[in-house]
């Protein structure tokens, strides 16, 4: 269906604030986070969104002047940091550590508490009485033990440590990821351990460290591990090793619920899916259902599915080619047994699918690395299938550090590091369409990147949005991403550039940054708010820049009523809202004088809708507004009409 209207208002808005400036439509806010030393989110699981929309981040700092708002200062050569951020402002920030070396490597919100995990070599790390492991078990000055901490009073300016525990044995150990599961009654911790006496609790799938000792050159004798804690009191309830004869580590986890062979849905039985890296040719795979049963290079990615008590393995598979792979992100898909996994690969024969965005390996100027993005139906009880898989990279070294999947649209947002000035996946109207980076070898110049894909399309049409994110003559890496309900992406990473687009002061060396991107083209602005207040949560976006050179774009609706029709209106933007009496509905278009265009749209089961808008050649470019309305047949106070925010 096409828009039905008298006069088509062509689409263009020149923003009054430069697109790369924090506070612009494309970059609502962006901030430095660091002091005069070295500050960074060290791993991939260092950002989470709180229930109220605040941003939670963690990492490590060497800065004695790190901008903390509560708690003690730097205790050792490096401490972990934890911060809560609201609209680009620090609500609170604190350091976690002792006299040794500490790093916070994962963060999640559980209820209103904040859980943090990482590594510590501090014998005086802030452990609480009665914790599962109150004594430092050993390790080197670099790694030592893992740790897990639960912070309470996190909605105030002074969060406190409710409990903290070591997690490890006499070797080196590190926690890398956290996952609330089983209705947030349990928190899973994943990572790696080189300890032969890592604490085993319950009935472990693998009760012993399977690595060959002493380890061969270049390895540390580590297996992955998964540990479960009771969320309410921190009791350690279950643990297991996970690995083979060579080094293995668990990098990310998701929780899924499956249909069983008898066709019955058992909502009380969850599955813990873990991804990681393995160098083991005997990593535990499930031969009948695995996508790949053989180690392809010196290290591959892996995927496993475990019962919630960590006693039974339902699925296990390698993922890789003849080179090396390191996965860095894992996300559930709409398919019951589907997961997305992303990372980096040196394999020219990494498995890709027909019609993907980039079927060919881009190469690499030094390490020979490309990103990969792969969607797999695990099957669990039947052979798994490769649903989608693509490279992401150019002739330089490029890597994906994390991904998130929008559950309604199934759009995939990936972030990472681009070492390719001709990075092939930037879009028309991007926040930063050109490469900014610079830096010394061996890494050389790098920028961060943010890319959004629609895998349901074919080839180049899959690119919804793509941008560099960096400062002139610096190096950047975007390490983690989370998605808001309006499609915005919140990211964290590190920068070596004093002109990175962020507020605050760059104090030298490496600083962390936290930013929110609308992923809207530069000539599109989101304005207004959903209405009635407290009822509607609809937001609009577009999939490409409505600008000269583009023959068409799609209007995207997030948060509409599931499986319900609506109407998309087009007209002249209004400077202020006109509220419809009795309905609390805010209209952000000028309905008088006409003309106004409209088109019927239909939302899927996730409340997502899309509508294609062709742009005929020869149009004179001006300004237009878009807003969506759905009929709510529910109960008061959210009856009658619901309206989205607006675009111009």
Reported as a single tens digit per residue, the pLDDT across 396-409 is 999 999 999 998 89
| 29-517: CATH class | mainly beta
Angstrom distance (rounded) from CA 491 to CA 360: 28
DSSP, collapsed to helix, strand or coil, labels residue 460 as helix
* pLDDT given for residue 225 in this prediction: 98
Domain spans of the chain, in order of start: 29-517, 526-647
* pLDDT given for residue 444 in this prediction: 63
Closest CA to 22 of 428, 429, 415, 431: 431
Closest CA to 411 of 159, 174, 608, 575: 608
Under 8 Å between Cβ of 391 and 362: yes
* pLDDT given for residue 17 in this prediction: 47
Burial label, 336 (beta-carbon count in 10 A; 0-12, 13-18, 19+): middle
Residue 629, CB-side half-sphere exposure with 13 Å CA sphere: 18
pTM above 0.85, yes or no: yes
Backbone angles phi, psi at 483, to 5 degrees: -110, 140
Under 8 Å between Cβ of 31 and 512: no
Cα 576 to Cα 177, 528, 535, 589, 594: the distances in Å are 45, 8, 20, 9, 17
Q: What is the largest CA-CA distance in the chain?
A: 81
End-to-end CA, the chain? 22
> What 8-state DSSP symbol labels residue 215?
P
DSSP, collapsed to helix, strand or coil, labels residue 253 as strand
Angstrom distance (rounded) from CA 299 to CA 295: 7
Closest CA to 554 of 607, 599, 488, 489: 599
Closest CA to 225 of 285, 247, 60: 247
Angstrom distance (rounded) from CA 415 to CA 466: 10
* pLDDT given for residue 23 in this prediction: 77
Angstrom distance (rounded) from CA 415 to CA 449: 6
* pLDDT given for residue 575 in this prediction: 85
Q: How much is the mean pLDDT over the chain?
A: 89
Backbone angles phi, psi at 104, to 5 degrees: -90, 120
Q: What is the DSSP string of 609-645?
A: EEEEEE--TTPPP---EEEEEEEE-S-TTS-EEEEEE
Under 8 Å between Cβ of 199 and 169: yes
Angstrom distance (rounded) from CA 133 to CA 166: 5
Angstrom distance (rounded) from CA 274 to CA 533: 39
**Spans in the chain with pLDDT lower than 50:** 1-17, 263-268
In what side-by-side order are the strands of the sheet with 539-542? 539-542, 552-558, 609-614
Under 8 Å between Cβ of 162 and 140: no
- Helix-, strand-, coil-residue percentages of the chain, each rounded to 5: 0, 45, 55
CATH number for region 526-647:
2.60.40
Angstrom distance (rounded) from CA 244 to CA 222: 9
Backbone angles phi, psi at 95, to 5 degrees: -105, 145
Angstrom distance (rounded) from CA 502 to CA 286: 47
Angstrom distance (rounded) from CA 297 to CA 368: 14
* pLDDT given for residue 268 in this prediction: 47
Closest CA to 307 of 269, 250, 346: 269
């Amino acid at each position: 269906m096409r828009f039905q209207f008298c006069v088509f208002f062509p689409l263009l808005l020149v923003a009054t604030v430069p697109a790369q400036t924090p506070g612009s439509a494309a970059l609502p806010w962006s901030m430095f986070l660091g002091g005069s030393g070295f500050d960074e989110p060290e791993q991939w699981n260092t950002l989470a969104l709180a229930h109220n929309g605040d941003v939670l981040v963690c990492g490590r700092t060497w800065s004695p002047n790190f901008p903390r708002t509560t708690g003690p200062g730097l205790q050792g050569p490096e401490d972990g940091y934890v911060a809560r951020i609201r609209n680009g402002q620090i609500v609170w920030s604190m350091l976690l550590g002792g006299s040794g070396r500490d790093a916070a490597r994962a963060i999640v919100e559980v209820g209103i508490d904040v859980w943090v995990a990482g590594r510590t070599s501090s014998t005086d790390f802030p452990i609480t009485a009665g914790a599962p492991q109150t004594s430092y078990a050993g390790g080197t000055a670099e790694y030592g033990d893992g740790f897990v901490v639960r912070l309470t009073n996190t909605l105030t300016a002074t969060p406190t440590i409710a409990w903290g525990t070591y997690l490890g044995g006499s070797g080196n150990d590190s926690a890398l990821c956290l996952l609330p599961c089983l209705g947030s009654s349990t928190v899973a911790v994943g990572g790696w351990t080189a300890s032969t006496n890592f604490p085993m609790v319950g009935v472990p799938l693998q009760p012993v460290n399977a690595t060959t000792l002493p380890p061969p050159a270049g390895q540390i004798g580590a297996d992955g591990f998964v540990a479960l804690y009771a969320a309410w009191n921190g009791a350690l309830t279950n643990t297991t090793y996970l690995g083979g004869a060579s080094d293995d580590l668990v990098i990310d986890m998701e929780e899924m619920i499956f249909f069983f062979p008898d066709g019955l849905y058992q909502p009380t039985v969850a599955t813990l899916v873990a991804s990681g890296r393995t160098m083991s040719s005997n990593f535990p795979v499930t031969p009948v259902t695995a996508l790949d049963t053989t180690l392809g290079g010196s290290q591959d990615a892996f995927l496993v599915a475990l019962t919630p008590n960590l006693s039974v393995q339902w699925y296990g598979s390698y993922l890789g080619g003849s080179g090396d792979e390191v996965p860095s992100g894992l996300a559930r898909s709409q398919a019951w047994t589907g997961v997305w996994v992303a990372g980096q690969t040196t394999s020219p024969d990494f498995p890709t699918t027909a019609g993907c965005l980039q079927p060919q390996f881009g190469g690499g100027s030094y390490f020979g690395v490309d990103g990969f993005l792969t969607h797999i139906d695990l099957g669990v009880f039947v052979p798994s299938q490769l649903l989608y898989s693509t490279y992401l990279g150019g002739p330089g070294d490029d890597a994906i550090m994390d991904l998130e999947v929008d559950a309604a649209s199934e759009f995939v947002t990936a972030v990472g590091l681009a070492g390719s000035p001709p990075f092939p996946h930037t879009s028309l109207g991007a926040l930063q369409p050109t490469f900014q980076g610079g830096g010394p070898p061996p890494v050389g110049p790098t920028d961060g990147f943010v890319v959004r894909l629609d895998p349901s399309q074919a080839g180049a049409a899959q690119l919804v949005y793509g941008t560099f994110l960096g400062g002139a003559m610096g190096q950047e890496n975007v390490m983690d991403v989370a998605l808001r309900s309006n499609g915005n992406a919140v990211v964290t990473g590190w920068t070596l550039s004093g002109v990175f687009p962020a507020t605050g002061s760059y104090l030298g060396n490496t600083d962390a940054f936290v930013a929110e991107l609308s992923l809207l083209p530069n000539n599109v602005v989101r304005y207004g708010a959903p209405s009635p207040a407290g009822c509607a949560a609809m937001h609009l976006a577009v999939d490409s820049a409505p600008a000269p050179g583009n023959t068409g774009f799609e209007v995207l609706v997030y948060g509409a009523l599931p499986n319900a029709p609506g109407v998309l209106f087009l007209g002249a933007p209004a400077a202020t809202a006109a509220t419809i009496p009795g309905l609390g509905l805010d209209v952000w278009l000028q309905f008088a004088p006409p003309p106004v265009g409209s088109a019927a749209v239909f939302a899927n089961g996730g409340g997502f809708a899309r509508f294609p808008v062709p742009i005929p050649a020869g149009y004179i470019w001006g300004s237009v507004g878009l807003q969506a309305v759905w009929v709510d047949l529910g109960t008061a106070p959210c009856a009658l009409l619901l309206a989205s925010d607006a675009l111009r």
